[in-house]
């Protein structure tokens, strides 16, 4: 059973976003996986400048347009402003570089990837001789104004943020010159870090919460703490999955969908892509939802040391 084309939520700017999205990191094998995802009904494709997979994603989308599977307007593509482009004069440059790689005329959604600004330049993760990240001091309200200008220019239809805390969202929302509020905040969200307080705040401000790492993580040692437990082996998720005759992964996805999140999944295996598309075939009971709520432990799978030196960094228990 393929995903339904109308499985979407209307954002605060009136544009609609499909509630289940397909992630495109890492770039290896990304092109074929994206084609497969589109074949199984995924219409929301999540990318980023830093993923270095935009050329592959663009080729995949154009291939599925060429064979008649989709039209460009059927695809909802999300791109991200990388942290080395936070200075207002660099924002449009990042967006245009991504559009050129994708060979798209516009993005459906463009979001600030992180609230941590880094030194501008060719290095995606600029580091000094001490191997520590070189940060930059940028007022994100000015970055946001440059994002708004990109929307006014027609290069992107919706704009949002990622990895923002409540305090950081409030900084944008309270900006006296605010023209467009963020439509979405994309954050790490899974049963071990359910972001309940942030979810409530976003709902109260008509901002969608979008979850990544909903299945735990892909265990990439560059970004992921290898000492963290494997979410999909959690005994409660395994037991609930058995009850519904589903996989723990589907239970973790369905949990977030029922909470009102937009959900991103990342897998390049054809069987798992097909499996993830089954998230609309069952519903968790209220009792099971509460049981999964109880797994929350403010635990992040991401390595804290990458950004921990930045003044805008907040540990996982701060939402």
Task: Give me 68's structure tokens.
Answer: 């008649």
Q: What are residue 173's phi and psi, to 5 degrees? A: -65, -30
Task: Give me 65's structure tokens.
Answer: 């347009």
Q: Between the CA of residue 108 and those of 48, 176, 268, what are the distances in Å?
A: 13, 26, 23
Identify the CA nearest to 37 among candidates 7, 66, 73, 75: 75
Q: Which residues are catalytic?
A: 51
Distance CA 34, CA 301 (A): 25
Residue 255: which H helix or E strand, with range?
Answer: helix 248-258
In DSSP terms, 17 is beta-bridged to 9
Q: Residue written as tokens 């923002």?
A: 164
Cβ atoms within 10 Å of 129's Cβ, excluding its own: 5
Identify the CA nearest to 228 among candidates 236, 218, 238: 218
Q: What are residue 65's phi and psi, to 5 degrees? A: -75, -45
Q: What are residue 154's phi and psi, to 5 degrees? A: 80, 10
Distance CA 20, CA 22 (A): 7
Peptide bond into 26 cis (omega under 30): yes
- The reply, when asked if residue 113 is annotated as ligand binding, is yes
Note whether 162 and 127 are within 8 A (CB). Answer: no
Distance CA 305, CA 189 (A): 19
Please count the CA atoms within 13 angstroms of the CA of 237 that sit on its side-chain side: 23
């Amino acid at each position: 059973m393929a995903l339904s084309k109308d499985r979407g939520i209307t954002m605060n700017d009136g544009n609609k976003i499909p509630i289940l999205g397909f992630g495109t990191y890492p770039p290896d094998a990304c092109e074929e996986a994206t084609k497969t995802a589109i074949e199984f009904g995924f219409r929301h494709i999540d990318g980023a400048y830093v993923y270095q997979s935009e050329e592959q994603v663009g080729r995949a989308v154009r291939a599925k347009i060429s064979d008649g599977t989709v039209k460009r307007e059927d695809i909802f593509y999300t791109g991200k402003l990388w942290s080395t482009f936070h200075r207002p004069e660099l924002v449009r440059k990042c967006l245009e570089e991504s559009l050129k790689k994708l060979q798209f005329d516009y993005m459906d959604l463009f979001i600030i990837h992180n609230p941590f600004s880094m030194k501008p330049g060719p290095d995606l993760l600029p580091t000094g001789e001490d191997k520590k990240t070189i940060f930059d001091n940028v007022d994100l309200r000015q970055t946001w104004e440059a994002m708004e200008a990109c929307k006014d220019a027609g290069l992107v239809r919706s704009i949002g943020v990622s990895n923002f805390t409540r305090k950081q969202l409030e900084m944008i929302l309270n900006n006296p010159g605010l023209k467009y509020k963020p439509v979405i905040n994309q954050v790490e969200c899974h049963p071990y870090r359910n972001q309940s307080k942030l979810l409530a705040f976003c709902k109260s401000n008509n901002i969608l919460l979008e979850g990544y790492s909903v299945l735990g993580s892909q265990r990439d040692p560059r970004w992921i703490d290898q000492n963290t437990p494997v979410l999909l082996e959690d005994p409660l998720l395994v037991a609930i999955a058995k009850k519904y005759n589903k996989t723990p992964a589907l239970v973790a996805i369905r949990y977030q969908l029922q909470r009102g999140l937009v959900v991103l999944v990342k897998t390049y295996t054809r069987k798992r892509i097909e499996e993830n598309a089954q998230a609309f075939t069952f519903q968790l009971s209220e009792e099971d939802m509460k049981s999964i709520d109880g797994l929350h432990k403010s635990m992040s799978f991401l390595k804290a040391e990458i950004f921990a030196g930045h003044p805008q960094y907040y540990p996982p228990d701060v939402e």
